[in-house]
Homo-oligomer: A and B are copies of this chain.
Amino acid sequence: MLRIGVIGYGYWGPNLVRNFVELPNTLVTIVADRREERLDLVRRRFPHVEVTTEFEFLLNADIDAVAIATPVSTHFTLASEALRAGKHVLLEKPMTASTEEALQLIDEASRRDRVLMVDHTFVYTGAVRRIRQLIDQGALGDIYYYDSTRINLGMFQQDVDVIWDLAVHDLSIMDYILPEPPIEVSATGINHVCGATENCAYVTTFYDNPLIAHLNVSWLSPVKVRRTLIGGSKQMVVYDDIEMSEKIKIYNKGVSVTNGDESRYKMRVGYRSGDMYAPQIDTGEALNIVAQHFAECIRTGAKPVTDGYAGLRVVSVLEAATRSMRNHGTSERLSTSCRTASA
């Protein structure tokens, strides 16, 4: 039986607790949060679980692993100490506030032979796994673009801008499904609230191939949109995460180009406009799979699908995007070391 402690019982923490509780081979034995009123909730729901306002108290408890769901700025310190105390660590996304911190955590986990996993939840959804499968099978052909809109009202964060809060989801999906990491990023954005971080932003990433990705993220939209288009030379996918059924639609549509005989100036673009197909998707809760995968990696020593290097690669794009945004779109090259990381 794996004994888990959870740090942070705010927005995401309750989901972590609930999912570990449902797993047959794990036990949540202790939950830490600074706020007594959050711990009251734990007490009512799970009278048998220990609670504490002191992170250190949790570290000294008899647990194998910790799951950390606190603000990004605290990730590095909490995860470092947990690793040093010999615990395996599941860390919320984004992994850390900088590539520097991410590299240090990877190093710490490696030296102590502990599992360090980043909760890139979307990677574990049926929809994203299915898209990865389609791409791996070549069903989409060459990938032309990844274009995502992830907007809604609210949840203004104080320690991070909207790119770190929302684009992180797309970057983690892209890291998992696209054939290569980006080499360059251009971003624009704006902050409408004096003293706060950017709340609307637009990120473009460039690649060594004729592939482009674009992310539109906002905390100021009156409607919630979670829509991603992935265009390939053979087929195109619309992935709408708000749809209850038909989350993924695969369109047999595209463009084929031929050059006319008469003249090199006459290009002929043919449009293929065929059928659409919506495969049935596994709709199980992704966090349940995250919890299972974390437990399994601890037991077997396997490398998590979303390990520290995946976390690092995502953080490196976030860092560069924020720099580009402050510079009105002037593009930033991504460092080779972060791109090739993992290997």
Contacts and interface: CB of A to CB of B under 8 A. Distances in A.
Query: What's the dominant secondary structure at chain A's contact region?
Result: strand
Contacts of A267: 158, 193, 195-196
A212 B147 CA distance: 20
A122 to B, nearest CB: 19
Interface residues of A, number: 78
A238 interface: yes
A108 B221 CA distance: 44
B220 A191 contact: no
Interface stretch (A98-106, A273-281, A289-297): A273-281
B329 A153 contact: no
A66 interface: no
Contact of A220 (B231, B238, B264, B280): B231
Interface of A: 21-22, 24, 44-48, 144-145, 147, 149, 151, 153-154, 156, 158, 184, 186, 188-196, 200, 202, 204, 206, 210-212, 214, 216, 218-224, 229, 231, 233, 236-238, 242, 244-246, 249, 251, 253-255, 257, 259, 264, 267, 269, 271, 273-280, 324, 328-331
A221 to B, nearest CB: 6
A147 B280 contact: no
Given A145-B220, A221-B231, A331-B329, A154 B275 contact: no
15 contacts: A22-B45, A153-B271, A153-B273, A154-B255, A154-B269, A193-B255, A193-B267, A195-B264, A206-B328, A223-B245, A223-B251, A245-B276, A276-B277, A328-B331, A330-B330
A257 B212 contact: no
B277 A277 contact: yes
Nearest to A200: B145
A273 to B, nearest CB: 6
Given A193-B267, A193-B269, 5 more contacts: A144-B220, A186-B328, A221-B236, A222-B238, A276-B280
